[in-house]
Amino acid sequence: MENRHAALGLTDSDVLAMYEKMLLTRLLDERAWALNRMGKAHFLVSCQGHEAAQVGAAWALRPGIDWLLPYYRDLGVVLAIGMTPRDYLLALLARAEDPHSGGRQMPSHWSYPPLNIFTGSSPVGTQVPQAAGVAYAAKLRGDDAVVYVSFGEGTASQGDVHEGMNFAAVHKLPVIFFCQNNRYAISVPQSLQMAVDDLADRAAGYGFPGKVVDGMDVLEVYGAMREAVDRARRGEGPTLIEAKVYRLTPHSSDDDDRTYRAREEVEEWKQRDGVTKIRAYLMALGLLTEEADQALRRRLLDEIDAAVAYAEAAADPEPSDLVRHVYAE
């Protein structure tokens, strides 16, 4: 197999580390489902099938310098930029120590100032004008921070997405609009969401480049993201990247995708799973062995086990916390 990562400026250990984050994301998501079915976690949104797109995108960002306005499916993004399984599990179980919201928000509503992860909400698309505002501020201050903002193809129907993209285009702001197109907005297929095959086509209407990438291929995503980040940093403005992915699980722990997707379709996409794909690539190049992979898997599961134990033992918020932080204290 041809070495594809060297040409992207990635070392062997870079790609191994990317694979590790993807595998961690998958194993952690699987654990969240288990905790939900055990009755320990009230709710989760799943990211399985998005790992390659998410880790590939985050890998092009500088932790603590660039800014992120991720959407609720971006577990792989926040893990790749520096959050930990413990952070995620504290939020999943809504503990007081949850670094995102202290147990106030549903899980996967990310927020972490030390890594410039801005707090997000559930109404979709609101983060897009905000991302443009962050980028405007960075430009006004003369900083070279780049802003990553993500959303699904369903969210692309929201007016806020249009408003944010248009403003970013007018001022050539350093924003990467990263759409993870998994073909369904809960149950509604793309064909009822838009009349075009590629959302990326819309970029032309704003006056910046739009690019479609295979979101199941972490290296392809990274390459496109790297290019978009470099372009933003050069002051040439935003890019829309549309990563074609597939959600391998229901939308959330409360969804049943059997009501709207054929099992054959899901099985077909599982054959194209991005985690399996990068593992096969690493093995074909001799960078990963079956034994090393098993050892890695065990180490990650140990880390997740320890994080689960920690989160389960962690304290709930105090009832008196209810009335805090409405205004500055």
Partner 1 sequence: MREAETPVAIKTLLEAIRDALAEEMRRDERVFVLGEDVGRRGGVFRVTQGLIDEFGPARVLDTPLAESLIVGAAIGAAAYGLRPVAEIQFADFIHPAMDQIINEAAKIRYRSNGAWGCPIVVRAPYGGGVHGALYHSQSVEALFYHVPGLKIVAPATPYDAKGLLKAAIRDPDPVLFFEHKKAYRSVRGEVPDEDYVLPIGKADVKRAGEHLTVITYGYNVHLCLEAAERLSREEGIEAEVIDLRTLLPIDRETILASAKKTGRVMISHEDTKTGGIGAELAAIIAEEALFYLDAPIVRVAPPDVHPMPFNGRLEAAFMPTVEQQYTAMRDLARL
Nearest CA to 88 out of 311, 250, 321 is that of 311
Closest distance of CB 129 from partner 1, Å: 3
Closest CA to 213 of 276, 126, 274: 274
**H or E element that contains 241:** strand 239-244
Q: Minimum distance from CB of 158 to partner 1 (Å)?
A: 9
Binding site for partner 1 (CB under 8 A): 67, 69, 98-102, 104-105, 109, 111-113, 118-119, 121, 123, 126, 128-138, 140-141, 159-160, 163-164, 166-167, 170, 324-329
- The distance of closest approach from Cβ of residue 249 to partner 1 in the complex, given in angstroms and rounded to an integer, is 26
Q: If you count DSSP H runs as helices and E runs as strands, how many of each does the chain have, helices first?
A: 11, 7
Nearer of residues 192 and 322 to partner 1, judged by Cβ: 322
Calculate Rg over the CA atoms of the chain: 19
Handedness of CA 37, 43, 49, 53 (dihedral sign): negative
Catalytic residues: 247, 251, 260
Taking the C-alpha atoms of residue 36 and residue 30, their distance in angstroms, rounded to an integer, is 10
Comparing CB distances to partner 1, the nearer of 107 and 215 is 107
Quick count: other Cβ atoms within 10 Å of Cβ 131?
27
Question: How far is it, in rounded angstroms, from Cα 206 to Cα 288?
Answer: 43
- Shortest approach of partner 1 to residue 211 CB, angstroms? 24
Between 15 and 115, whose beta carbon lies closer to partner 1?
115
**Nearest Cα to Cα of residue 81 among 27, 146, 144, 134:** 146
- Quick one: 141 or 263, whose CB is closer to partner 1? 141
